[in-house]
C-alpha cells in the first residue's frame, strides 16, 4: 500500500466533474455539476455564468445569506445529497483568518465544496503515540483509528481555542496542558466524497504528555485509547486503511519531521507535495478558479 497511497486518496479530485462556486469574483467552493440545478433554480440567490455558478450580485450577503443558505441545506438534505445536518456552523472566509462571508451547517459544507479548517493533535509519550478508536456510531469513519484529539474549527473559534475545547471533550486534557501544545504545520487536501468535495486544512500540533496521563473521553467520540510505538503506528499507516483517511496525513507528516521518512524514500518529494495538496491555494487566490 505505502504512504503515497493515502495522499493520493485524499487528493482525488476531478475538476471536470465540478462547477466553481463564485461570490463577488472569488471562488469559494465547488459544486458537483450534476447537482448544480439545486442552486441555479434558486434565482434569487444564484445565477449561471460561464463555467461557474455565481451568487446573485443583488442577493443577500453576510448573516442574511447564511439564513438563506439554511433553506438550501434543508432542500439538499431532502434530496438525500447529504446524510444529515450537524447543528454546528462553519465560517466560509476569503482566506484563513479573513472576513467571514457566510456560514454553513457543517453537514452541508461538502455539498458546496467550501474550505473548512480543523485541528489534529499528536499526543506523544516517550517514543509512543496515543491513538483512539472512533465510536461505531460516528457518521464519518466509524470504528477507525484516530489521533488523540481532532476536530473541525467552528464559526467563532480559532485553531488554538478549538484545540483546547476538543482536548477537554475528547481526552480530558486540562486546558493549561492542551494550551502548551506546539504548532508544527498544516496538511491540505481536496477530496471527492459522496456529498461533494472536502477542501480541508488540518492544523497540526504536537503535545508531550506525562507518563502517568490517561485520556478519558467525555463526548462519545471514542470507544477506547491506547499507546502504540510510533514505528507501529507508521506500519499501520503503510500497510492498512485502519486509520481515518486524513489521520494518515498527520502521521506521515510526523514521520517526516522525525526523520523516519527522509530523502532516501523513493516517494519523498511526492509525499512532501501531497501533504500540501499539491500546493492547493487559498480559495479565490491565483489560477484556481477551475482546478
Q: Which CATH number belongs to the domain containing residue 183 in this structure?
A: 3.90.79.10
Does the residue 284 lie in any domain? Answer: no
Does the residue 22 lie in any domain? Answer: no
Give the pLDDT band (50/70/90) at residue 123: very high
Does the residue 123 lie in any domain? Answer: yes
Does the residue 198 lie in any domain? Answer: yes
Answer yes or no: are the C-beta atoms of 261 and 3 closer than 8 Å.
yes
Residues 253, 275: Cα–Cα separation, whole Å: 7
Does the residue 283 lie in any domain? Answer: no
Number of domains in the chain: 1
Rounded to 5 degrees, what are φ and ψ at 111?
-60, -45
Which range of residues forms the domain containing residue 163? 3-11+116-275
Does the residue 63 lie in any domain? Answer: no
pTM of the model: 0.93
Give the pLDDT band (50/70/90) at residue 94: confident
Q: Is a pLDDT exceeding 50 seen at residue 21?
A: yes
Does the residue 51 lie in any domain? Answer: no
For the record, the C-alpha cell of 164 comes out as: 483546547
Give the pLDDT band (50/70/90) at residue 277: confident
Does the residue 37 lie in any domain? Answer: no
Residues 51, 48: Cα–Cα separation, whole Å: 8
Amino acid at each position: 500500500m505505502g504512504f503515497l497511497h493515502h495522499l493520493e486518496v485524499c487528493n482525488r479530485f476531478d475538476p471536470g466533474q465540478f462547477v466553481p462556486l463564485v461570490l463577488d469574483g472569488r471562488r469559494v467552493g465547488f459544486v458537483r455539476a450534476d447537482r448544480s440545478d439545486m442552486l441555479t433554480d434558486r434565482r434569487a440567490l444564484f445565477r449561471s455564468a460561464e463555467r461557474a455558478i455565481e451568487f446573485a450580485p443583488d442577493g443577500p450577503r453576510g448573516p442574511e445569506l447564511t439564513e438563506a443558505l439554511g433553506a438550501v441545506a434543508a432542500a439538499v438534505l431532502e434530496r438525500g445529497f447529504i446524510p444529515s445536518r450537524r447543528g454546528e456552523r462553519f465560517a466560509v472566509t476569503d482566506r484563513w483568518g479573513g472576513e467571514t462571508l457566510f456560514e454553513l451547517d457543517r453537514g452541508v459544507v461538502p455539498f458546496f465544496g467550501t474550505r473548512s479548517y480543523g485541528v489534529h493533535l499528536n499526543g506523544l509519550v516517550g517514543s509512543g503515540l496515543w491513538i483512539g478508536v472512533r465510536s461505531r456510531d460516528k457518521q464519518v469513519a466509524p470504528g477507525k483509528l484516530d489521533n488523540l484529539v481532532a476536530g473541525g474549527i467552528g464559526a467563532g473559534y480559532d485553531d488554538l481555542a478549538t484545540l483546547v475545547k476538543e482536548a477537554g471533550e475528547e481526552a480530558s486534557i486540562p486546558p493549561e496542558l492542551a494550551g502548551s501544545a506546539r504548532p508544527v504545520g498544516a496538511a491540505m487536501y481536496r477530496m471527492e466524497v459522496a456529498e461533494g468535495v472536502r477542501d480541508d486544512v488540518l492544523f497540526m500540533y504536537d503535545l508531550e504528555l506525562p507518563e502517568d496521563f490517561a485520556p478519558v473521553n467525555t463526548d462519545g467520540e471514542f470507544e477506547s485509547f491506547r499507546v502504540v510505538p510510533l514505528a507501529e503506528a507508521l506500519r499501520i499507516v503503510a500497510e492498512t486503511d485502519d486509520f481515518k483517511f486524513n489521520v494518515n496525513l498527520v502521521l506521515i507528516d510526523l514521520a517526516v519531521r522525525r526523520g523516519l521518512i527522509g530523502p532516501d524514500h523513493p516517494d519523498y518529494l511526492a509525499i512532501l507535495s501531497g501533504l500540501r495538496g499539491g500546493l492547493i491555494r487559498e480559495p479565490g487566490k491565483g489560477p484556481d478558479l477551475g482546478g
